[in-house]
Amino acid sequence: MATKRIARTTWEGSLIDGKGLVGLASSGVGEFPVTWASRAEQPNGRTSPEELIAGAHSACFSMALSHTLTGAGTPPTRLDTEAEVAFQPGTGITGIHLTVTGEVPGLDEAGFTKAAEDAKANCPVSQALSGTTITLTARLA
């Protein structure tokens, strides 16, 4: 059975001067303030759609990589993943770069890189963002 997750945003005011609040409704873990300035300039304690995408992508990729490695008989001890989403005002998201460092007993660098490339191609968030260039740096700790 498919699962569904819900997030809600309340926005007040114009794009440039307004502000919003993004709530993670399904989990109830919190609400996060968002503004145009936090998206196009500095965060200043507020989030952006791109940061939320980066969080979703880093989590999905980590899960996919863990699954791939475990299925190959080399479960990871630890994976540290960063997703950097580039946003250009007036253009949109221009690229995503994933960086992963893994502790995987019994696996060499080439095997880790191959598994990471597979996870990048097959994680559902990567697939949803397939219209965007996604690059990867993978290394063992």
> To which residue do tokens 């145009």 refer?
36
59 and 115 belong to one structural domain: yes
72 and 132 belong to one structural domain: yes
Q: What is the CATH number of the domain that holds 57?
A: 3.30.300.20
Structural domain contains residue 66 = yes
Distances (CA, A) of 72 to 11, 68, 105, 106, 111: 46, 6, 12, 11, 10
Q: Which residues contact 90 (CB under 8 A, 6 or more apart)?
A: none
Q: Give the number of domains in the chain.
A: 2
pLDDT tens digit at each of 141 positions of the chain? 899 999 999 999 999 999 999 999 999 999 999 999 999 999 999 999 999 999 999 999 999 999 999 999 999 999 999 999 999 999 999 999 999 999 999 999 999 999 999 999 999 999 999 999 999 999 999
Structural domain contains residue 1 = no
67 and 91 belong to one structural domain: yes
Q: What is the reported pTM?
A: 0.94
Structural domain contains residue 2 = no
79 and 15 belong to one structural domain: no
36 and 88 belong to one structural domain: no
26 and 95 belong to one structural domain: no
Q: So what's the pLDDT on residue 35?
A: 96
Give the domain extent around 94: 49-140
Q: So what's the pLDDT on residue 6?
A: 96
100 and 124 belong to one structural domain: yes
